[in-house]
Amino acid sequence: MSEAKLLLVEDDHALREALLDTLQLAHYDCVDVASAEEAIMALKQTSFDMVISDVQMEGVGGIGLLKYLQQSHPKLPVLLMTAYATIDSAVNAMKLGAVDYLAKPFAPEVLLNQVSRYLPLKHDSQQPVVADEKSHALLALAQRVAISDASVMIMGPSGSGKEVLARYIHQHSSRSDEPFVAINCAAIPENMLEATLFGYEKGAFTGAYQACPGKFEQAQGGTLLLDEISEMELGLQAKLLRVLQEKEVERLGGRKTIKLNVRVLATSNRDLKAMASSGAFREDLYYRINVFPLVWPALNQRPADILPLARHLIQKHAPSTAAVPELDENATRRLLAHRWPGNVRELDNVIQRAMILHCGDKIGLDDIILDSGDMCLSSDANMALKTVEVEGLGDELKAQEHVIILETLTQCNGSRKDVAERLGISARTLRYKMAKMRDMGIELPA
């Protein structure tokens, strides 16, 4: 998950929902509001890394918001969205300090590209929190690999910290002062992944109103992380292989080749070797990216990491104005006894709940709300709903979707293929939705 926090301001409810989905699927933490006035309230309460705002809205409007931001948050990048008819005002807005504008309608990857282009690069100094011998050994190995320029394949179950490890490798490499760019291959719709990776020229496809560099170009001199590379379809794998071999890229709709100096890291939570053997993943690409494999084991295989991670997460989620609470003995025991199918991400959710529930300076047993271990059957669908409510993570519709997926999984005896067919969605979309559910701590059949 990107640590970047975005504020989305759009008065058209349906469009706001669609944009929010696009941004959240790309793992951005996003707050959405319907007016400039609400945006100003939100900006007073929380700090954001970027504002994406419609221009024409009732009241203060996008330009009024931009003027406010120029005074109060002059460094905050503002990306404006405007209908064709108001492009002139968008150009004026850029003169007033907006970083860019998007002419509606635009394709989701155009939005994602613009966001990643203007988001300030955070110098991520956060080190992985580790205490277990296995994790220490892994980090020592990662440091040695980091100084080479080899491609690294990071494997491990969902939420185990693969992206954290990838950043660690970048930080310990000679490229640490250059960009670290991550792209989640499962989160970007199949037909848009190519444009996002390789970039495009103006007019390359409907919605490409401006030329846009791809992730490879954005990572120039630095490191590109291809997260969940197993989800890339075979045709695009062939194109990726060519870019890696030739060390140059051509934007979609472009004629010029751009020389690349990019180190590539990749992650997968699936057995890529088995996929390569069965033909589901290109063998030649597998060998090209798997120069050095690293495996971050599941959290329950490195139990000494659990408490230091929990304390780190408590500190992270504690309001800066309040004292940091401690885990009492019973809460500690409960955390150590759990098997953490969702790994560190699940632990993060549990700690966030505990931070809401606890009173005083201790986190007790009752504040530790774990996900029921047997929530995978249809009779537990209501439990899933409750979990979602406790976390405050989803609206009614999303919760219903989770219930439908859980029930269909039971009816299809866990066959992902059958579930995808029955629900009329691609296997890839289903996998992505299930990964999101796991992230929320909902246990699914293996």
Shortest CA distance to 27 belongs to which of 46, 7, 3, 51? 3
Out of 162, 170, 175, 358, point to the residue binding ligand ATP (CB under 6 A). Answer: 162
Indicate the residue among 109 and 132 with the shorter CB distance to ligand ATP: 132
DSSP code for 379: G
Residue with tokens 């444009």, as numbered in its chain = 195
Q: Is 387 one of the binding residues for ligand ATP (CB under 6 A)?
A: no
Shortest CA distance to 231 belongs to which of 422, 417, 431, 418? 431
Q: Is 349 one of the binding residues for ligand ATP (CB under 6 A)?
A: no
Residue 364, SS3 per DSSP: coil
| Alpha helix segments (H runs only) across 224-378 | 234-246, 272-278, 283-289, 306-317, 329-337, 343-357
Nearest distance from C-beta of residue 226 to ligand ATP, angstroms: 11
Q: Are 49 and 21 in contact (CB under 8 A)?
A: no
CA 63 remoteness from chain centre: 30
Torsion of Cα atoms, 214 then 218 then 219 then 224, to 10°: -40
Q: Is 342 one of the binding residues for ligand ATP (CB under 6 A)?
A: no
Residue 363, SS3 per DSSP: strand
Indicate the residue among 175 and 312 with the shorter CB distance to ligand ATP: 312
Q: Is 15 one of the binding residues for ligand ATP (CB under 6 A)?
A: no
Residue 65's alpha-carbon distances to 72, 209, 289, in angstroms, are: 10, 25, 45
Out of 345, 358, 433, 436, point to the residue binding ligand ATP (CB under 6 A). Answer: 345
Indicate the residue among 103 and 355 with the shorter CB distance to ligand ATP: 355
CA distance 57 to 61: 5
Out of 62, 161, 214, 441, point to the residue binding ligand ATP (CB under 6 A). Answer: 161
Residue nearest to ligand ATP (CB): 161
Identity of residue 86:
T
CA distance 330 to 314: 16
Indicate the residue among 123 and 242 with the shorter CB distance to ligand ATP: 123
Indicate the residue among 251 and 312 with the shorter CB distance to ligand ATP: 312
Q: Is 11 one of the binding residues for ligand ATP (CB under 6 A)?
A: no
Out of 89, 160, 171, 173, point to the residue binding ligand ATP (CB under 6 A). Answer: 160
Q: Is 1 one of the binding residues for ligand ATP (CB under 6 A)?
A: yes
Name the token pair of 275: 């996929």
Q: Is 290 one of the binding residues for ligand ATP (CB under 6 A)?
A: no
CA distance 268 to 250: 26
Q: Which one of 92-100, 123-131, 194-202, 285-293 is the stretch in contact with ligand ATP (CB under 6 A)?
A: 123-131
Indicate the residue among 114 and 116 with the shorter CB distance to ligand ATP: 116
- Binding to ligand ATP by CB under 6 A, coded x per residue (else -) over 177-216, reads ----------------------------------------
Write the CB contacts of 114 (distance below 8 Å, at least 6 apart in sequence).
79, 100, 102, 212
Indicate the residue among 72 and 127 with the shorter CB distance to ligand ATP: 127
Give the footprint of ligand ATP on residues 304-323 (CB under 6 A).
Answer: 309, 312
Residue with tokens 């185990």, as numbered in its chain = 160
Nearest distance from C-beta of residue 67 to ligand ATP, angstroms: 35
Nearest distance from C-beta of residue 98 to ligand ATP, angstroms: 30
- Binding to ligand ATP by CB under 6 A, coded x per residue (else -) over 216-255, reads -----------x----------------------------
Residue with tokens 């701590």, as numbered in its chain = 441
Q: Which one of 344-352, 383-391, 393-401, 411-419 is the stretch in contact with ligand ATP (CB under 6 A)?
A: 344-352
Cα–Cα–Cα angle for 20, 25, 30, nearest 5°?
40
Give the footprint of ligand ATP on residues 126-155 (CB under 6 A).
Answer: 128-130
Q: Which one of 28-36, 108-116, 253-261, 343-351 is the stretch in contact with ligand ATP (CB under 6 A)?
A: 343-351
Out of 10, 11, 163, 443, point to the residue binding ligand ATP (CB under 6 A). Answer: 163
Out of 62, 77, 108, 159, point to the residue binding ligand ATP (CB under 6 A). Answer: 159
CA distance 137 to 387: 36
Q: Is 158 one of the binding residues for ligand ATP (CB under 6 A)?
A: yes
CA distance 260 to 249: 7
CA distance 59 to 328: 50
Q: Are 202 and 210 in contact (CB under 8 A)?
A: yes
Q: Using CB under 6 A as the criterion, which residues of the chain lie in contact with ligand ATP when the complex forms?
A: 1, 128-130, 156, 158-164, 227, 267, 269, 309, 312, 344-345, 348, 435
